[in-house]
């Protein structure tokens, strides 16, 4: 068996599992990315996300995660729900959280892919990751030829935009490697910079995570959101899609065919009153398989109160 055969099989298996794109890069230290990450952390742009400071050596070296690692397989899975019609002035949820929790959906697919690889190729050591371990997914996506990182910090694919989940599978199997993506096709466009409600995106192509609406509505565990952010959330209850919604490259986005990402009816139809009347028991039942669990009921209540208009409006 040859590297070429193995590579072809793996890419066929990923398509069969529903992944939209697959790229493969040689496993090696990410020294340049390490320097950028260190600078970002030193500026405190991770806010209270202290977990990002941990396991720095694991983030930059795949061999620390999988001993003897040879290849990093990067997979993209489309979650774009199509042009949804939401109630006017209703609290908004980021599109990635419309359906089932992507961690559960993708982890199952990665486990199946690794099983197929072992069955079809032989004994392979590997680990799959989906936004749950110290892996620089976007850096590996670029090295795998899948796109470039835009000014808004998202991976952009020339034919499909940015509404994708990124998954990573690190294996100790040598494969044929894709050509790294070269170039930056954002050009002079600054739509995401100008549209960001909290000015979290700089002209230097750096996103201040501690100012992002997604940070405040999901990652921040404090009981209160800073008053300085009042009036800037544009009805975002969980996450934010503003920088993606205005990105010209997302005109190429097509609705996902992954049934697990079909929107939970409540997310599309709940108005403010329904969210306010939601009990903790109902929240746990309706969103038991949703990414909204990350904010917890108390977080959703906090966010809802924060975006509520002042009395008399």
> Would you call 131 a catalytic residue per the annotation?
yes
pTM listed for this prediction: 0.92
The one catalytic residue in 33, 61, 131, 172 is: 131
The per-residue pLDDT of the chain, averaged, comes to 91
Tokens 């975002």 -> residue: 236
pLDDT at 31: 77
Q: Are 135 and 60 in contact (CB under 8 A)?
A: no
Stronger pLDDT, 50 or 129, i.e. the higher one = 129
Q: How does residue 226 score in pLDDT terms, banded at 50, 70 and 90?
A: very high
Q: Please compute the mean of the pLDDT values over residues 94-108 and round it to a whole number.
A: 96
Q: Which helix (H) or strand (E) holds 165?
A: strand 164-171
Which of helix, strand or coil describes residue 100?
A: coil
Please give the structure tokens belonging to residue 241: 């899609």
Query: Could you tell me the CA-to-CA distances from 68 to 26, 62, 171, 173, 184 in Å, in that order?
Result: 12, 9, 8, 9, 32
pLDDT at 53: 54
pLDDT at 48 over 80: no
For the purposes of burial, counting CB atoms within 10 Å of the CB of 88, is it exposed (0-12), middle (13-18) or buried (19 or more)? exposed
For the purposes of burial, counting CB atoms within 10 Å of the CB of 118, is it exposed (0-12), middle (13-18) or buried (19 or more)? middle
| Angstrom distance (rounded) from CA 42 to CA 177 | 33
Segments making up each domain of the chain, as ranges: 3-86+98-171, 191-256+264-307
Q: How does residue 131 score in pLDDT terms, banded at 50, 70 and 90?
A: confident
Residues 6+ apart with CB under 8 A from 268: 84, 85, 86, 98
Q: For the domain 3-86+98-171, what is the CATH code?
A: 3.40.109
Q: Please compute the mean of the pLDDT values over residues 107-114 and round it to a whole number.
A: 97
Tokens 């935009």 -> residue: 161
| Angstrom distance (rounded) from CA 131 to CA 309 | 34
Which of helix, strand or coil describes residue 167?
A: strand
User: What's the pLDDT tens digit per position in 78-97?
Assistant: 999 987 767 777 899 999 99
User: What's the pLDDT tens digit per position in 266-298?
Assistant: 999 999 999 999 999 999 999 999 999 999 999
């Amino acid at each position: 068996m040859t590297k070429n055969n193995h590579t072809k099989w793996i890419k066929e298996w990923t398509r069969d599992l529903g992944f939209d794109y697959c790229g493969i890069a040689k496993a090696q230290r990410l020294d340049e990315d390490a320097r950028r990450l260190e600078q970002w952390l030193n500026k405190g742009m991770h806010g209270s996300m202290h977990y990002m400071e941990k396991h720095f050596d694991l983030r930059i070296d795949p061999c620390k995660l999988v001993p003897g690692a040879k290849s990093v397989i990067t997979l993209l899975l489309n979650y774009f729900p199509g042009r949804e019609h939401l109630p006017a002035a209703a609290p908004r949820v980021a599109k990635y959280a419309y359906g089932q929790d992507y961690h559960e959906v993708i982890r199952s697919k990665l486990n199946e892919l690794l099983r197929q690889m072992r069955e079809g190729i032989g004994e392979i050591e590997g680990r799959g990751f989906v936004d749950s371990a110290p892996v620089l997914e976007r850096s590996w996506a670029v090295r795998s030829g899948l796109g470039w990182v835009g000014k808004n910090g998202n991976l952009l694919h020339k034919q499909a935009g940015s509404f994708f989940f990124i998954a990573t599978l690190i294996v100790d199997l040598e494969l044929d490697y894709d050509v790294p993506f070269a170039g930056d096709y954002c050009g002079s466009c600054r739509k995401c910079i100008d549209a960001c409600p909290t000015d979290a995106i700089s002209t230097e192509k750096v996103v201040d995570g501690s100012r992002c609406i997604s940070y405040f509505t999901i990652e921040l565990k404090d009981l209160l959101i800073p008053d300085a952010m009042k009036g800037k959330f544009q009805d975002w209850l969980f996450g934010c899609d503003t920088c993606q919604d205005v990105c010209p490259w997302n005109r190429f986005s097509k609705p996902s065919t992954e049934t697990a990402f079909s929107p939970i009816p409540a997310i599309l139809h709940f108005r403010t009153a329904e969210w306010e009347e939601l009990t903790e028991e109902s929240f746990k039942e309706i969103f038991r398989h949703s990414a909204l669990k990350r904010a917890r009921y108390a977080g959703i209540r906090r966010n809802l109160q924060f975006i509520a208009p002042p009395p008399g409006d």
